Amino acid sequence: MDAETAEHLGYEKHDPAGRGSGNSRNGTSPKTVLTDAGAVTVAIPRDRNGSFEPKLVPKHARRLAGFNEQILSLYARGMSVRDIRSHLAGMYGVEVSPDLISKVTDAVADELAAWQNRPLDAIWPIIYIDALWIKIRSGSVASKPVNLAVGVDMDGCKDVHGLWVGDEREGATTWMTVCPNCTTAESKTSASSPATA
């Protein structure tokens, strides 16, 4: 951030060129941010005109890259909001509100819906289908099969067509509902129960 300040002011620290420039350094302000390594207090440089806005740790930002990914990863593993709060409190030493966790998890909903409803190409020479057993929370945490369809296009590029959460066992009935969805050009990628893991 010192380098950012120097770029903003147009001169390095203690450089005589800064005299009479109309703006100068004005100390620092402490700020605690959450990082993948825990809560870290950083010294944010200030300028006399109050025009410096750091890019590394933007104004009003309390979390650095990786924090939201932690929340989404814990949520995808089936942890409750209370469990996530407890885990983050132990990891970062701070209390995270339920509203923040909800905002982070809701932020991916639009992206997920767009992915589920994207149109597929008309021709897929190869389609791989299989099931992954994943622990999913639905009232209680239980292992369920997530049926996966991966297509290979004419250029040899792979694309996940969809994920479908099955019942307690993997069977022909489930695959009969999955296969029409991933092999017809008119259909979308999604089925009735997309996986969240």
Per residue of the chain (197 residues), what is the pLDDT tens digit? 788 888 888 888 888 877 878 888 888 999 888 876 567 788 889 998 989 888 878 888 887 767 778 888 888 777 888 888 888 877 766 677 788 788 788 777 777 788 888 888 888 899 898 888 888 767 777 888 888 889 999 999 999 988 888 776 666 777 777 676 544 443 343 343 444 33
pLDDT of residue 147: 85
Q: How far apart are the C-alpha atoms of 114 and 133, rounded to whole Å? A: 25
- Establish if 149 belongs to a structural domain: yes
Q: Looking at the structure, do residues 102 and 139 belong to the same domain, yes or no? A: no
Q: Which of 130, 132, 121, 140 is nearest to 195 (CA)?
A: 132
| Structural domains of the chain, count | 3
**Other beta carbons less than 10 A from residue 170's beta carbon:** 17
pLDDT of residue 105: 80
- Establish if 167 belongs to a structural domain: yes
- Establish if 55 belongs to a structural domain: no
Please give the backbone phi and psi of residue 41, each rounded to the nearest 5 degrees, phi first. Answer: -95, 125
Token readout for 111 is 């992206």
Beta bridge partners of 159: 151
pLDDT of residue 170: 67
pLDDT of residue 36: 65
pLDDT of residue 183: 45
Q: Looking at the structure, do residues 95 and 132 belong to the same domain, yes or no? A: no
pLDDT of residue 94: 67
- Establish if 60 belongs to a structural domain: no
**What's the pTM value of the predicted model, to 2 decimals?**
0.45
- Establish if 192 belongs to a structural domain: no
- Establish if 52 belongs to a structural domain: no
Q: Looking at the structure, do residues 41 and 85 belong to the same domain, yes or no? A: no
pLDDT of residue 190: 39
Q: State the greatest distance between any 2 C-alpha atoms of the chain, in Å, as a whole number.
A: 79
Q: Looking at the structure, do residues 33 and 84 belong to the same domain, yes or no? A: no
pLDDT of residue 156: 93
- Establish if 189 belongs to a structural domain: no
Q: Looking at the structure, do residues 168 and 134 belong to the same domain, yes or no? A: yes
Q: Which of 85, 107, 129 is the last residue of a domain?
A: 107
Can you give the residue range of the structural domain that contains 30?
Answer: 2-47
- Establish if 34 belongs to a structural domain: yes
